[in-house]
Amino acid sequence: MKVPYFRVAIPESAIESVNESIRSGWLTTGKKTKDFETRFAGYYGASHAIATNSCTAGLHLSLEAAGIQQGDLVLVPTMTFAATGEVVRYFDAVPVFVDCDDAMNMDPAKLEETIHAIRANKPVAGLEPPYGPLKAVMPMHYGGYACDMQEIMRIANENDLLVIEDAAHAVPGYYRPDESSEWQLLGTFGKAGVFSFYANKCISTGEGGMVITDDEKMAERIRVMTLHGMNRDAWKRYTSAGSWYYEIIAPGYKYNMTDIAAALGLDEMDRIETYLQRRTEIATAYVERLRRLDAIQLPVQDPATRRSSWHLFSIRLNLEKLSIDRATFIDEMKAREVMCSMHWLPLHLMPYYRNEYGYDYGLFENAERDWKRQISLPIFPAQTDEQVDAVCSAVESIVEAFHK
Ligand SMILES: Cc1ncc(COP(=O)(O)O)c(C=O)c1O
């Protein structure tokens, strides 16, 4: 049975919502976008939500609103997608990479160690003094599984660092420090939380993103910068309630969300809980079936403190038990018609960062150990039980065939 890595299933209601938006004659940022922002802010209990045309744009504008400048230092996980690092470079600021923990998230102990070394003007992995000002930290919730936010917020507060959460994977993910505390949605811990609605994310608008924040000044700055630095967007200018007049107050960007995308996003919001439920069912089924395989390390779970969005189901191969490497394992999955993915080659190993700074192999032990053995199995709401079964059977048969 063929199992794609991901397949969208857009219901009729979503198609109707998009059609209605097109028929309305208002295609770009307008009422649908405002409605999507209001609904998203409500879901997260945030004072403000600003829709963007990608999560990358939202991360960029969050750092811009935070006043990041050339030479500033921003702490970023090395185990993350390109976007988390590149937005720091947009300012000619310096990404200070931090190693991951066992859940592939930023390791708080390593974060603190790095901050202390920088404050003491000592070299850290890939970088040497003199350092610019240490300004912000961008924890990323890998696969929608929470970073240790209690520790990260403590460290950030003690060191006067702004927290911008890369919550691209976390619609929705939850964290609490212990069983007696309330669950809190990921993306609501830092000064801003940024989400992705890229095609294969938990909810999708094709391309799109959202920033949430409780800080009014930050929200206003982000809003203005999504649209050329204009102090009035088109919706405010061209509707009967609006005025034609606007001023440019900064050299902004073209990062606004279209109403067509927002129409899809609004409809997707109706399914957040059912998507989460289905993803959780699939993850539970994978764990049940694959837990007996000693060649497979399953995702870390701590049900007392974390509820993952299960954007990813990320396994790691215990390579010492297998006669094949990760690449061959993925090829073998493909030969069994199951498509897999990989998240990620750590940023400090990417040629750009190696050429630009002193980053190289041998600097981040956990990330370097884990990326070589990581595989993301298919997990998407439209995945059938038969497809879940086919994925498990493929993994089992490969482990059996290539067990040492
Ligand atoms: C962790 C992480 N951050 C940011 C992004 C960027 O999202 P977008 O494609 O919406 O810009 C992604 C996209 O895959 C991601 O995985």
CATH code, residues 12-269 = 3.40.640.10
Query: Could you tell me the pTM of the whole model?
Result: 0.97
User: What is the third-level CATH fold of 272-402?
Assistant: Aspartate Aminotransferase, domain 1 (3.90.1150)
Q: How many Å lie between the centroid of ligand 1 and the Cα of residue 55? A: 6
Measured from the Cα of 57, ligand 1's closest atom is 11
User: Is residue 77 within 6 Å of ligand 1 at its C-beta?
Assistant: no
CATH 3.40.640.10: which residues of the chain?
12-269
User: Tens-digit pLDDT profile for the chain (404 aa)?
Assistant: 999 999 998 999 999 999 999 999 999 999 999 999 999 999 999 999 999 999 999 999 999 999 999 999 999 999 999 999 999 999 999 999 999 999 999 999 999 999 999 999 999 999 999 999 999 999 999 999 999 999 999 999 999 999 999 999 999 999 999 999 999 999 999 999 999 999 999 999 999 999 999 999 999 999 999 999 998 766 666 666 667 788 899 999 999 999 999 999 999 999 999 999 999 999 999 999 999 999 999 999 999 999 999 999 999 999 999 999 999 999 999 999 999 999 999 999 999 999 999 999 999 999 999 999 999 999 999 999 999 999 999 999 999 999 99
User: Is residue 55 within 6 Å of ligand 1 at its C-beta?
Assistant: yes
User: Is residue 54 within 6 Å of ligand 1 at its C-beta?
Assistant: yes
Beta bridge partners of 297: 316
Q: Is 315 exposed, middle or buried (0-12, 13-18, 19+ CB in 10 A)?
A: buried
User: Is residue 80 within 6 Å of ligand 1 at its C-beta?
Assistant: yes
Q: How many Å lie between the centroid of ligand 1 and the Cα of residue 25? A: 30
CATH 3.90.1150.10: which residues of the chain?
272-402
The CA distance from 385 to 356, in Å, is 47
Contacts of 71 (CB under 8 A, 6+ apart): 92, 93, 94, 132, 133
User: Is residue 84 within 6 Å of ligand 1 at its C-beta?
Assistant: yes
